[in-house]
Structures are given as structure tokens and as C-alpha cells.
């Protein structure tokens, strides 16, 4: 990827720049908990967005996307927002740095990536984090701290891309470390690295190839439901809610809001249970919690789809230890905790059954937990 970027950069802009990369992410458990002040348990993966960047001594950004095969050029004022959606991520990052009093001047950039788009692996967070990290390094002597870099990506989603996401994806992309998952408390923003080297198990992603587009999806509606219930309970977020409190207001809220909140309350406890289980090496419990998350995401939170439910059923039939939808939902991948001796059989069966039913094969990714945002020298 680096070679190709370098070649295109040379052709378009002449000479060379500095290389940066940032990663997509997985999340072991803790879905739709981040914007509710709960816990998440992500890790960065070995799929990245990589960019070559060089200041151009103007106030114009010129950027080429190899994968989309499109060029965009824009200024740095609010009115200069580009029309291409991929370029808005980069524009948003520039604007959010400027709004925080940071420096951004014009630059030339070429980027490419191997984070599958719309698969729930946070390709957009990888893009935001890559540019946030690079512009911090290039124009701000790395004065912006890593949490703020993650928030810059998150604000980009909110203000320029129409997705009211939580902090998980950008956090994972910026803070990721090889071989380590991270448990983040999204209220206090305290986090802990968890070495993740299960000897007898692997994480396998099965991509339904059903594209999700969070901006067009009811993601924001889920968040609104949670906020309505928290407000009804007199709380800032559902982090402080429990089932007894929810039952007490059940007759005052819609059934839909009730089930959304129920999922969140149960899910935040599941993250803690999974951490305890991991500490004991108890993968059966980890897996059982993953199946519970899937059921909750499918029935109560309603962010699954037929294909993902099908993949979850196949995993269960194959004896996979844990399986669930990963990320925002509405398509994308399931994450599967699979015993090593079962991995090939499971993949073979899932591909065969899925292809038979839907007429196209799912994609399979083995997960390698890797570093997040970085400069490549």
C-alpha cells in the first residue's frame, strides 16, 4: 500500500511527504454503551488507512483517495466544505482542530486503506484519526493530547457527517496497541489495557457484506431513545440506571424506548462480567455473554438484520464459543470467539450456508490486534 501511495503522490504532487496510518477496530463487547456513559472493550486491528502528507505553503488542501479514485480540493473555512462525503471527514478534522485553537494550513495528501468500508470496522474513524494524528504532528508539535484527537474525530462525525456517534471508534483508533484490548469507561474516560492472547481461541470476523450507512440509519434514533429515558429518570446518561429504575417508569415511556434502555442497562453489566471472566480465563462465560449481546441487539435494540441473525445461528450450530453483531449494526460483521480447532470447520460451514442462502459469500477476516494512530518512518 505504501508503495502505491508513494507512486501516486509523486505523480500528482511531485516529491514525497511523511507517512501516517491509523487503524480500524473490533469491539469484544459493549455495544451502544459509549454514548450512554458505559463501558466498551475495543482494540485496534491490522487494517489501516494510510496517508502520505506534505504541507504545501498555501491555505488549500489537495487530497486524492486511491480507493475511491477521486480528487478533492478545499479551503479551511467553514464555507469551504467539500461535497464528496469521504473528503468531508478530512475537512471536518481540519475544522475541528482549528475550532480548538490548533493550527492547520494547506497540505497535499494521498491516502488508501484496507479497512473494509461499511463493515462495522470503523473505516471512518481510521480516516479521521489518521489525519488528526498527522495534522497534530505536522502543524501543532503534537500539543493536542490523544483524547482530544479522538474527540476531534468524534466531533467530525457529529458536525460534518451527521452521525451522533460515541467515542469508542476514535478512541480505539488513536489508543490502540498491539496485542491489547482496552476497557474504556466512557463516563470517566479511564481506560485499561488488557493483554489478549487466548491460547486456544481466535477471533474471526464474518462480514455479511450488507453495507451499513450509519448516517442514513436509525443509529441517531437509538441514541435519542436512550437520552429520553435517561432524562425521564433524571439522569445524565443510562450509566446510572438499573432495571428497577427502568421498571418504575415503564408505564410513562414507549415500549420501544423501554427495550432500548433495557438493552443498554444489561449490556453495561455484560462488559464488566466479560472482564472478570477474561481474568479467570473463563472463555465459556465470555462467549455466552457475546450471544446474549447478540440477542439483545437483535430483539431489544433492533439493530440486526436477517443476514447477521443467520450468521449468529450458524455460529451457534457449529459450536462456536461466542458470536454477535459487532459495531453499530444494520449490517457489517459478526465477531466470533472460536476454538482454534474449530476455526476452519466453522469458516467453511458459514461460507457454504451463507452462500447457499444469499447467493454471495461472506468475507472472513482473522483479527490481529495491532497499533493505532502512528507516524511511519
Binding site for ligand GLA (CB under 6 A): 31-32, 34-35, 122, 165-166, 168-169, 327-328
290 vs 318 by CB, closer to ligand GLA: 290
Based on the residue annotation, tell me whether 169 is a catalytic residue of this protein.
yes
H-helix segments, the chain: 2-13, 85-99, 123-139, 146-156, 168-175, 219-232, 243-249, 255-280, 283-295, 306-318, 343-358
CB of 148 to ligand GLA, least distance (A): 17
* Residue among 70, 142, 80, 144 nearest 106 (CA): 80
The Cα–Cα gap between 122 and 229 comes to 27
Given 46, 137, 145, 169, the catalytic residue: 169
Is 113 within 8 Å of 131 (Cβ atoms)? no
CB of 195 to ligand GLA, least distance (A): 23
CB of 141 to ligand GLA, least distance (A): 29
269 vs 349 by CB, closer to ligand GLA: 269
Cβ-based burial of 307 (10 A; exposed 0-12, middle 13-18, buried ≥19): buried
Contacts of 245 (CB under 8 A, 6+ apart): 233
138 vs 150 by CB, closer to ligand GLA: 150
20 vs 219 by CB, closer to ligand GLA: 219
64 vs 291 by CB, closer to ligand GLA: 291
The residue whose grid cell reads 493550527 is: 103
Max CA distance (Å), the chain: 66
143 vs 299 by CB, closer to ligand GLA: 299
CB of 25 to ligand GLA, least distance (A): 8
Cβ-based burial of 98 (10 A; exposed 0-12, middle 13-18, buried ≥19): middle
138 vs 286 by CB, closer to ligand GLA: 286
The Cα–Cα gap between 80 and 205 comes to 39
102 vs 237 by CB, closer to ligand GLA: 237
Q: What are the C-alpha distances in Å from 91 to residues 87, 107, 266? A: 6, 12, 38
Q: What are the C-alpha distances in Å from 17 to residues 2, 10, 45, 51, 109? A: 12, 9, 25, 9, 8
CB of 285 to ligand GLA, least distance (A): 21
Is 222 within 8 Å of 260 (Cβ atoms)? yes
The Cα–Cα gap between 180 and 143 comes to 25
CB of 294 to ligand GLA, least distance (A): 13
State phi, psi for 283 to the nearest 5 degrees.
-75, -20
CB of 105 to ligand GLA, least distance (A): 29
Q: DSSP secondary-structure letter at 190?
A: -
CB of 211 to ligand GLA, least distance (A): 14
Is 151 within 8 Å of 165 (Cβ atoms)? no
> Residues in the chain, how many?
377
Residues serving a catalytic function are 169
Amino acid at each position: 500500500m505504501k508503495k502505491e501511495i508513494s507512486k501516486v503522490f509523486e505523480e500528482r504532487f511531485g516529491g514525497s511527504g511523511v507517512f501516517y496510518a491509523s487503524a480500524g477496530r473490533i469491539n469484544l463487547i459493549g455495544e451502544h454503551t459509549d454514548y450512554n456513559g458505559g463501558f466498551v472493550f475495543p482494540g485496534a486491528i491490522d487494517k489501516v488507512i494510510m496517508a502520505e502528507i506534505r504541507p504545501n505553503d498555501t491555505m488549500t488542501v489537495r487530497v486524492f483517495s486511491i480507493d475511491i479514485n477521486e480528487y478533492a480540493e478545499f479551503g479551511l473555512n467553514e464555507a469551504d466544505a467539500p461535497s464528496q462525503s469521504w473528503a468531508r471527514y478530512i475537512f471536518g478534522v481540519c475544522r475541528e482542530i482549528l475550532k480548538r485553537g490548533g493550527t492547520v494550513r494547506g497540505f497535499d495528501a494521498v491516502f488508501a486503506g484496507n479497512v473494509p468500508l461499511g463493515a462495522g470496522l470503523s473505516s471512518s474513524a481510521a480516516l479521521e484519526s489518521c489525519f488528526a494524528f498527522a495534522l497534530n504532528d505536522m502543524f501543532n508539535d503534537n500539543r493536542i493530547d490523544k483524547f482530544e484527537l479522538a474527540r476531534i474525530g468524534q466531533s467530525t462525525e457529529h458536525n460534518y457527517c451527521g452521525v451522533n456517534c460515541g467515542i469508542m471508534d476514535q478512541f480505539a483508533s488513536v489508543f490502540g496497541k498491539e496485542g491489547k484490548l482496552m476497557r474504556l469507561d466512557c463516563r470517566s474516560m479511564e481506560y485499561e489495557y488488557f493483554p489478549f492472547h487466548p491460547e486456544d481461541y481466535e477471533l474471526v470476523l464474518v462480514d455479511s457484506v450488507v453495507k451499513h450507512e450509519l448516517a442514513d440509519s436509525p443509529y441517531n434514533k437509538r441514541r435519542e431513545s436512550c437520552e429520553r429515558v435517561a432524562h425521564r429518570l433524571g439522569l445524565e446518561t443510562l450509566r446510572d440506571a438499573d432495571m428497577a429504575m427502568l421498571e418504575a417508569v415503564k408505564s410513562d415511556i414507549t415500549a420501544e424506548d423501554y427495550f432500548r434502555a433495557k438493552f443498554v442497562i444489561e449490556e453495561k453489566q455484560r462488559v464488566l462480567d466479560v472482564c472478570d471472566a477474561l481474568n479467570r480465563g473463563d472463555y465459556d462465560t465470555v462467549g455466552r455473554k457475546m450471544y446474549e449481546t447478540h440477542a439483545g441487539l437483535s430483539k431489544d435494540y433492533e439493530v440486526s438484520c436477517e443476514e447477521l441473525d443467520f450468521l449468529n445461528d450458524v455460529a451457534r450450530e457449529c459450536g462456536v464459543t461466542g458470536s454477535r453483531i459487532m459495531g453499530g449494526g444494520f449490517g457489517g460483521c459478526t465477531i466470533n470467539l472460536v476454538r482454534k480447532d474449530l476455526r476452519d470447520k466453522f469458516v467453511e460451514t458459514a461460507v457454504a450456508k451463507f452462500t447457499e442462502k444469499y447467493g454471495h459469500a461472506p468475507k472472513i477476516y482473522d483479527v490481529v490486534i495491532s497499533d493505532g494512530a502512528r507516524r511511519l518512518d
